[in-house]
Amino acid sequence: MSSNGTPMSDGQIEFQSAKWPKIVPELTSEQKTISDDFMKHWHEVLPRRFGLIERFNHGYPVRHAPKTFLTTLEIGAGLGEHVAYETLTNEQQSSYIALDIRPNMVAAIRERFPRIQAMVGDCQGRIDLPDDHCDRILAIHVLEHLPNLPGAIREMRRVCNKTTGVVSVVIPCEGSLAYGLARRISAQRIFEKRYGQSYRWFIEREHLNKPAEILSELDAFFTIRHQAYFPFPVPLEFCNLCLGLTLTPKTSPRIDEGARTREL
């Protein structure tokens, strides 16, 4: 049953707070074109010009992958950059699912990595996979973008193998002094030079969720098994750019302010 009294198809009761989903302003047609173009451009520029941070972003999930796995789901897969960091068997390649909401990004993945499965879809809704399907789930710089973050995290838990599954998450230290300075000399500078307009409208609707919000929502459904900050290995956000997390699904989701779902 939803918050307005509508039954849910999976036999659950959904509790949605006023905070979620966050309201994102609609884009003009020009802004939509710019948004799609810049996301693709940024995914092309980042590995070439900012390789050190990219090695952390993509190296962390590889280092903390299960010793044995078959099926991987990567949500918000972008141009498929992460796949290049993996050493996959033929079977693991054919069982690798790259999901992204932008058709232009998915088309690029299919061209570059024809052996994996590239799908257009929204991880905040129901993913077309059965329960407990995935041995690994990857969310690399994705969760900060999602207006319906609890919905995505709930869906990640649904498709994750509850016994042996592992979730790898990398998020920016959004709001930190270090991240703000790094942004001004990287993405913001590139955006404003490329389009001749303010970066503010773009980033304010892209980076919606701060680390504390993401950690709170994850904690309702997953247990953190490992974490690592970059570039300084100290658990402080102000001086760091990114945070990597390795998580496993909780047997029973927590029912409180952070968890939006109670199983019957």
Q: DSSP character for 160?
A: B
pTM equals: 0.87
Site of tokens 């058709």: 103
Summarize the confidence of residues 224-241 as an average pLDDT: 97
| Amino acid identity for residue 121 in this structure | G
> From CA 35, how far away is CA 162, in angstroms rounded?
36
Please determine, for residue 118, whether its predicted confidence score (pLDDT) is greater than 50.
yes
Segments making up each domain of the chain, as ranges: 12-263
Q: Which residues pair with 96 in a beta bridge?
A: 72
Site of tokens 């290049």: 84
Q: DSSP character for 131?
A: T
Asked if 109 and 116 count as a contact pair (C-beta separation under 8 A), the reply is yes
Please report the pLDDT score of residue 157 as a whole number: 97
Out of 3.40.190.10, 3.40.50.150, 3.30.70.930, 3.40.50.2000, select the CATH number for domain 12-263: 3.40.50.150
Using DSSP, state whether 190 is helix, strand or coil: helix
Summarize the confidence of residues 200-209 as an average pLDDT: 95
More confident site: 217 or 260: 217
pLDDT for 158-199, tens place per residue? Answer: 999 999 999 999 999 999 999 999 999 999 999 999 999 999
Q: Where are the alpha helices (DSSP H) in 99-186?
A: 103-112, 149-159, 177-184
Please determine, for residue 223, whether its predicted confidence score (pLDDT) is greater than 80.
yes
Please report the pLDDT score of residue 18 as a whole number: 64
> From CA 121, how far away is CA 88, in angstroms rounded?
24
The set of residues, in sequence order, having a beta carbon less than 8 Å from that of 188 and lying 6+ positions away, is 199, 203
Please report the pLDDT score of residue 255 as a whole number: 59
